[in-house]
Structure 1
Amino acid sequence: MHALIVVAHHDPRSLTHSLAKQVAQGIALDDPGHTFEIADLSAEGFDPRFSVADLAVHHREAPPPADVIAEQARVDRADAVVLVYPVYWWSMPALLKGWIDRVFTNGWAFDFTADAKLEKKLGHLRVHLIGVGGADARTYARHGYAEALKTQIDHGIFDYCGAQVVTSELLLESEIQDPAVHLDAAKSLGRELFAASRRLNPVRPVHPASPPDARR
């Protein structure tokens, strides 16, 4: 099986990058036949800006540009997608959000028109989320940040497209916690990645829905 590990951090020496590598190592330890690809969005120079051209794609007036098609092909090759990212202002970094904005297009991730039911097109995809936060668990719980992250990312993005979020982890106190604790957790996630995915039920049903946003 094949995993796409998407990393959104500008510093290759960061804990975020180290966690992605540990996930990859865990995948290899689970089964030498498993494969993975690390998509380093910053190093690769992915442009996260949702432009007029992207709006035309959303309205089904133009085909996706080459960089978007290339990213969609990466996802299509994967049995699982792992997002590894630092939490910035209680959300994902703009780089990763822009990757989702541009890559998860109408017509590929979902089909929506004003006069038809929503069709969720990524029911085959299994998703694993690893957010790296500086605050502690009590802060996330007290202010509802953890639930807000799940609402906007797990449900608002991936459930909308039919993809199933298998694991959704927040590795907290990253500024003061011993990095080994988080690195071990990431390796364990990698080792269990495909086993956890296989335990899930397959495709979810299609339901009527509104578009994720107006994009006007």
Structure 2
Amino acid sequence: MLFPHLRHDLRLPAEEEALAGRPEPAFPLAGRHAVLGTPLAGPYPEGLAVADFGLGCFWGAERRFWQTPGVWTTLAGYQGGHTPNPTYEEVCSGLTGHTEAVRVVYDPSLVPYTALLKLFWESHDPTQGFRQGNDRGTQYRSAVYTHSPEHQAEAEASRDAYQSVLRGSGYGAITTEIRPAGPFYPAEEYHQQYLEKNPTGYCGIGGTGVSCPVGIAPADGN
């Protein structure tokens, strides 16, 4: 076992408790998306926007977004924690503070941010805390990491709208973390577009079946 001190109490570590990490990535990032053929790493072409989401295991989550018209590229990674340049094993230890995340690079003239928010909410159960289905751990928490004050406001408004309809369907409080994006660390090569490379691989993504009243009509802006 790499980490005999694995966290079992399902709480996020304080910064001083987190693993030290490293100043440089522990592994290289693949050049191009296995489905879309676009570069994974930035800088991205002018006119595109970036959105970051955590909704459980990033294998299935990434596929939901790369299948969306208007999305230019996607990549799996780690976000929301303390440890710089973590590895998958370190994230799974519960000692980095990261969640499994998907970076979505998209053309806002083709797909508005509100439509991505709608897909995010409907693709998982955002009321489960440090869990998503059978996947249990702080790395499976629900999160939206925003890249502008406008997106922060839209994400919070979408949460409030979805909370109302979820309560009407018998669900509890949304536990989704919504805050400005910090560093995004790409995951290892084998995680990138995993379900394209492994079509029968595990996908733990599943929604509540409750429609989100957000992004149904196109919105102005990114």
Common fold by TM > 0.5: no
Higher-helix-fraction structure: 1
- TM-score interval (norm. to shorter): under 0.3
